[in-house]
Each structure stands twice: as C-alpha cells, then as structure tokens.
Chains A and B, each alone.
Chain A
Amino acid sequence: MTFGAWARLLALLVLLGPSTDGEGPPQPPPDFPGAPARERPASPNLAIRVKALRFALADRPAEFSSSLPLARGTSQLGPVPRTRLSGPALPNDSPWLARLSRHPSLWEPGGWTVVGTAPVVASLAGLVAIILAHRRRTRQAAVHGRTAAWPTWPIEVGRPRTGATERNRIESAVVLEPGQLAHLSRVATLGVLSGSLAHELNQPLSIILTNAQAAQRLLNRNSPDFDGVRAILAEIVKEDRRANELTQRLRALLRRGQIQLQPVRVLDCVDEVLRLVKGDLARRGVRTHCALAEGLPAVLADPIQLQQVLLNLIVNACDAMDAMPPGGRELSLTACVDAGDVRVTVCDHGVGLPRDREAMFEPFHSTKPQGLGLGLAISRMILEAHGGRIWAEPNPDFGATFHLCLPRMEDRTR
C-alpha cells in the first residue's frame, strides 16, 4: 500500500473513533456556505472528523466528489443521518456512511494494534514482576542475615503484617508500661541531679590531673623521686576506680532493665544513694544524719527500684528544705525493724506536707514548679509491687517524715 492509502486508513480510524458529541443537538457544520452563520463547533473533535471525512472521500466516486460542497445539493441527497454529521446530506446506501452512522465496537478502534502490542506488554510486565520479586528476596535475605542472631526479636521477618496487628503494635508502644514509667521517672530524677553528678565525676578527674602533673614534676627533678611517683600512681588508680564506680552506679540507674527481685540489704541501698547525692547535699547545705540499725534482715526487692524510691524521697526532702535558712537544713535517715517489717524513714526539716496527704501520691500531683508529679506516685507503685507500703507524716515541730515498709525476706518466701 502506498503512503496515501495508509494515511487514509488512519484518517478513517480517527473518524470511527468514539464520539463525544454524538448526543448533542444537531449543529451545522462549520465551513458550509448557506448554513446559518453559527459559531465554530463546540467540539474540536467534530472538526477533525469532518476534515477526516473529506480526506477519506477525496478519491471516491464522482457523486461524492461532486457533492463535496455538500450543502449545495441537499434536495438530491435525501434524508441525512444527522446523528454524526449534521447539515450535509449523504447517500443513504453508501457503505461508508453505514460505517459512519453506527457506534464502533470496542474491538474496532485499535484491534490490530492491541493484537500486536499485547505480547510486548505482557513480556514487559513479566520482566518487571521478576525484577521486583528478586529485589524483595534480596532484601529479606539481608534483614534475616542481620536479625538471625536475635532469637527473641519480636517481629517475625517476612511475615506480612495486616493493618490491624500494626495498629495494635503502635498502641502497645504508646501506652507505657509501669516499668517504663518507673524508668522515665528515674531518668528525670537523675536529670535534676545532673549538676551535682557532673561535679562528682569531675572530682576524681581533677585529682587524677593534679596527681599526674605532680608526678611529672617529681620525675623532672635532678634527682627523680620514684617513691613519690609510686604513691601518686596508686592515688591515680584509686581515683580512676572511684570515677568508674560512679559511672557504673549511674548506668545501673539509667538502664531500662527487667525487674530483678533479689535479697537486698537496705543499708547498702541507702549507702549507694547517699554516695550519689553527697555532692548535691553539700551544695545545698544539707546536713545528713543516719541512724541505720546494724544487722537488719534482708528484703526481697529490685535494688535499682528501691534506690529510686530513696533517691526520690531524698531529693524531695532537699527541695522542701531549700526555703529554710541554711543552718536548719537537716535530713535524717533511719532504718530499723518494725513489727517484722524493715522500715526506712526519711525525715526533713522543710516546708511540711500539703493538707491532702493522699493526693501527693496521685500521678501528676506536684507542688514544685518544674515537677512532673510522678515521683511519689511511682514510689508507691514500686512499694506496692514489692508488697510494702509508703506513707507520709508531718513532724511534731516542722517538716515531714516519709516511711517505707518492706516485708523482710523470710516472710515473703514463706
């Protein structure tokens, strides 16, 4: 076929394509003289069709070519199928018109094109699917390689998660567990102490520096003093251990670990906490008195949580005494056996208790401007989880005393 023939076929295809203006009222064609002067057709589609029709009919029999200025001879052309081309009348029995006047089937507009391109599209789709599948397999293998060593990893790799389980997972992450709350509160308390803790850590570092520089001076002498240097090195080792102990202590408190009940000596707990807050107490001018009975029975507790409660009570006591004159800031800690329980009291000479003593133990109840209001609530939660109690009493003179009672270990195990 020649190029012209191909072009005509294409024009016909355009002409037979789905119409968008078929349902509209009959419009006079645009360029026909004699037709009432109207604006240009609303649809460019129609104009294209008309042009295509003209082109397709260009070398048709004479009746068509002569009647191309169609509007001129409407009388001889009879009724006009007005659904597609209004105005000009075309012969009724023309096979072209028959094709023009009906809707094309779904198959017709690009049937051969579809037949031709379908295998190509199918093979491309197959290729893309293969590539995607390969990518997914590689990624899963990589994740599995990283996580295979974690036997308790909670998410099963490769198992598709539905929307519902995903939502459950997020919800359970948002709702804090008691253990997480206790940890957050512990971190907040240590944050309050951070200045003093930095000082506590700075102290051994400063001692190490001075000692090392003293040793350098001893060695640079004309007659080096090796005995002096030996003594200094021993000091350096000692101070390094002291710094290490502090970081260990902090790490234990900052760690979010499982609660581990174990036999705990209350005196050790008090001692650990006092070591942590020593600097803070000195800075605030608080004098501490300890009356800790010897030979107290052990309690079954999580040592970190017990320390947390004591730390919280001591920091509270110091806060309560900030408003007091420096001479009167006294903190007393006692530990004794009381009716079979181990009882620890933290007594301050501060501003005293609010009227509603129980409300203090409610969450988000705080009298401090920057307080979270969680300390006492969490302390009570911890004590109750240990089978113990915590309560507060005002002192006869001024200030308050907080009491902790923990069952001795024999009672718990029996």
Chain B
Amino acid sequence: MTTATIGLVDDDPGIRRALESLLRAEGFTVRTFTSAEDFLKRGADEPVDCLVLDVVMPRHSGLDLQEYLQGSRARLPIIFLTGQGDIPMAVRAVKAGAVDFLTKPVEDAQLLDAVRRGLAEAERQRSEDRTLAELRSRLDLLSPREREVLRHVIAGKPNKQIAAELGTSEQTIKVHRMRITERMKMPSVAELVRTAARLGIEPAD
C-alpha cells in the first residue's frame, strides 16, 4: 500500500520534528524542508501530496510560496500552520485555495483532519483531471467536420436542420453522428451534451 507523502515547511527544527513524529505515527511519509527556498530547490525531486506550511519564515513567507505554487502546481493541497497569524493572512491564504489555516499550538486531530481532507480533495481533483484528459483524447479523434456536426448536435438540432445549415444531405449527417458517438463512446445525446460542457465546447447557433 502506498502512503501519502506530506511535505513540512517550517524554519523551526523542533516544530519539524514534532509534526514529523505525529504524521509518521499516523502512517504518512514525511519530507521536511527548512524554508520556502529549500522546498522549491528539492521539491521537484521529492514530490509531495500535501504541504503543511508555516506562514512566518525568514526571507520568503509561506504565503509567498503558495502564490508561487499556484502557477506551477495548483493541485497541491496546502495547510497553513502558524503561531502568529492574523485574519488578513488567513483570508489571503484561503482565497488562494488553502485547505485550512490553523494556529499553533494545534490539536493533532485538527491537523490530521485537515491533511486528510486535503489529500481527499487532491485525489478527487486528480481523478477529475484524469477523466477530462481521457475525454479530451477522445475528442481529438474527431475530424474537424465531425466536431462541427457535434456543435450542432449538442445544440439540440434535428439531422434535417443540421444538413440544411451545413449544406449537405441528411444521410451524411447521420453517418457523422454515428462516428461521433462511436469515437466519444457516448451512446446518448444527453451524455454527449454534458461531456461537451465539461470540455468547454460551445453549441452552434
């Protein structure tokens, strides 16, 4: 069984060791980093599933790191843990997508709950990403003409109208539709409409 890897970023070695003990006791794999820079340097080689981040650190704060990571690794769940946090800090962190903003001393249950929520959310996001990637690859199989027909189909038009608008016969449109449902692996129009929406395909006018 593979366990989730938690990254700890805190400048205080005592805090790092304590949190490491707690998370290891719960069966997580832990990687510790002494600063935001340290995480950016080594983080790529030692990937983590979730980040427990101190806010106030020398040089770059945890909030700076969060902002930086938003561009490259937006899916990484971040839990802030701070000894001197205030409301503006918490608002900024949560608005930028933090799972939670906890203050030291933290109750173990609270921290572990946040970590598990973060991991679950990340997992849900990952499966969503996988599904979307799969759908996109199917969409890529369609020819440009079939994509055009698809936009008309999801607009709810009958074959006859599509044929008239595209200047072709109703029979040709029927063949295109068959191909589309085959390649997208979606037998019903309803499912096709929903998938198109997820992939951001606009229906034709």
Decide: B25 and A204 in contact? CB cutoff 8 A.
no
1/0 per residue, CB under 8 A from B, across A194-216: the answer is 01100100111111011101110
Decide: A202 and B21 in contact? CB cutoff 8 A.
no
1/0 per residue, CB under 8 A from A, across B49-78: the answer is 000000011110000000000000000000
Across-interface contacts of B38 in A (CB, < 8 A): none
C-alpha gap A287/B24 in the complex (Å):
33
Decide: B58 and A210 in contact? CB cutoff 8 A.
no
1/0 per residue, CB under 8 A from B, across A210-228: the answer is 1101110110010001001
Decide: A205 and B105 in contact? CB cutoff 8 A.
yes
Question: Which of the segments A175-183, A232-240, A315-323 contacts the partner chain?
Answer: A232-240
Decide: A242 and B14 in contact? CB cutoff 8 A.
yes
Decide: A214 and B108 in contact? CB cutoff 8 A.
yes
Decide: A214 and B83 in contact? CB cutoff 8 A.
no
Decide: B14 and A214 in contact? CB cutoff 8 A.
no
- A282 in contact with B21 given A209-B105, A239-B14 (CB within 8 Å): no
Q: Is B26 an interface residue (CB 8 A)?
A: yes
Decide: B105 and A206 in contact? CB cutoff 8 A.
yes
Q: Is A231 an interface residue (CB 8 A)?
A: yes
Chain A residue, CB-CB nearest to B64: A326
Q: Is B1 an interface residue (CB 8 A)?
A: no
Q: Is A283 an interface residue (CB 8 A)?
A: yes
Decide: A214 and B84 in contact? CB cutoff 8 A.
no
Give min CB distance, B110 to chain A, whole Å. Answer: 10
Decide: B21 and A214 in contact? CB cutoff 8 A.
yes
Across-interface contacts of A206 in B (CB, < 8 A): 15, 18, 83, 104-106
Across-interface contacts of B11 in A (CB, < 8 A): 282
Give min CB distance, B90 to chain A, whole Å. Answer: 16
C-alpha gap A287/B107 in the complex (Å):
32
Across-interface contacts of A211 in B (CB, < 8 A): 17-18, 21-22
Decide: B57 and A282 in contact? CB cutoff 8 A.
yes
Q: Is B191 an interface residue (CB 8 A)?
A: no
From DSSP, what is the main secondary structure of chain B's interface residues?
A: loop
- A287 in contact with B14 given A206-B83, A210-B106, A214-B22 (CB within 8 Å): no
Chain B residue, CB-CB nearest to A278: B58
Decide: A282 and B19 in contact? CB cutoff 8 A.
no
Chain B residue, CB-CB nearest to A238: B14
Give min CB distance, B188 to chain A, whole Å. Answer: 50
Decide: B108 and A210 in contact? CB cutoff 8 A.
yes
C-alpha gap A408/B108 in the complex (Å):
52
- Residue with the highest number of chain B CB atoms closer than 10 Å, among A196, A203, A206, A283: A206
Chain A residue, CB-CB nearest to B55: A283
Pick from B17, B83, B106: contact of A235, CB under 8 Å:
B17
Q: Is B12 an interface residue (CB 8 A)?
A: yes
Decide: B12 and A203 in contact? CB cutoff 8 A.
yes
C-alpha gap A99/B8 in the complex (Å):
115
Across-interface contacts of A228 in B (CB, < 8 A): 21, 24-25
Chain A residue, CB-CB nearest to B11: A282
Decide: A231 and B56 in contact? CB cutoff 8 A.
no
Which B residues from 22 to 57 make CB contacts under 8 A with A?
22, 24-26, 56-57
- A282 in contact with B18 given A206-B106, A210-B106 (CB within 8 Å): no
Across-interface contacts of A218 in B (CB, < 8 A): 21, 25
Across-interface contacts of A232 in B (CB, < 8 A): 18, 21
Across-interface contacts of A217 in B (CB, < 8 A): 22, 25-26, 108
Give min CB distance, B84 to chain A, whole Å. Answer: 5
Across-interface contacts of A238 in B (CB, < 8 A): 14
C-alpha gap A242/B19 in the complex (Å):
18
Chain B residue, CB-CB nearest to A202: B83
C-alpha gap A195/B86 in the complex (Å):
12
Give min CB distance, A106 to chain B, whole Å. Answer: 86
Give min CB distance, B67 to chain A, whole Å. Answer: 14
Give min CB distance, A30 to chain B, whole Å. Answer: 91
Which A residues from 56 to 91 make CB contacts under 8 A with B?
none
C-alpha gap A231/B20 in the complex (Å):
12
- A282 in contact with B56 given A218-B25, A238-B14 (CB within 8 Å): yes
C-alpha gap A282/B57 in the complex (Å):
6
Give min CB distance, A136 to chain B, whole Å. Answer: 57
Chain A residue, CB-CB nearest to B21: A214
- A199 in contact with B22 given A206-B105, A282-B57 (CB within 8 Å): no
Decide: A210 and B56 in contact? CB cutoff 8 A.
no
Give min CB distance, A332 to chain B, whole Å. Answer: 15
Chain B residue, CB-CB nearest to A286: B58
Decide: A202 and B14 in contact? CB cutoff 8 A.
no
C-alpha gap A196/B84 in the complex (Å):
8
Decide: A202 and B104 in contact? CB cutoff 8 A.
yes
Pick from A202, A204, A210, A287: contact of B19, CB under 8 Å:
A210
Pick from A207, A225, A279: contact of B15, CB under 8 Å:
A207
Taking Cβ atoms with an 8 Å cutoff, the residues of B that contact A are: 11-12, 14-15, 17-19, 21-22, 24-26, 56-59, 83-84, 104-108
Could you list 16 examples of A-B contacts with CB < 8 Å?
A196-B84, A202-B83, A203-B12, A204-B14, A206-B104, A207-B14, A207-B17, A210-B18, A214-B18, A217-B25, A218-B21, A232-B21, A235-B14, A242-B14, A282-B56, A287-B58
Beyond A207-B15, A207-B17, 14 extra complex contacts between A and B, CB < 8 Å: A199-B83, A204-B14, A205-B105, A206-B15, A206-B106, A209-B106, A210-B18, A213-B108, A214-B22, A228-B21, A232-B21, A238-B14, A239-B14, A283-B84
| A-B pairs with lowest CB-CB distance, top 9 | A206-B105, A206-B104, A213-B108, A214-B22, A214-B21, A210-B18, A217-B25, A207-B14, A209-B105
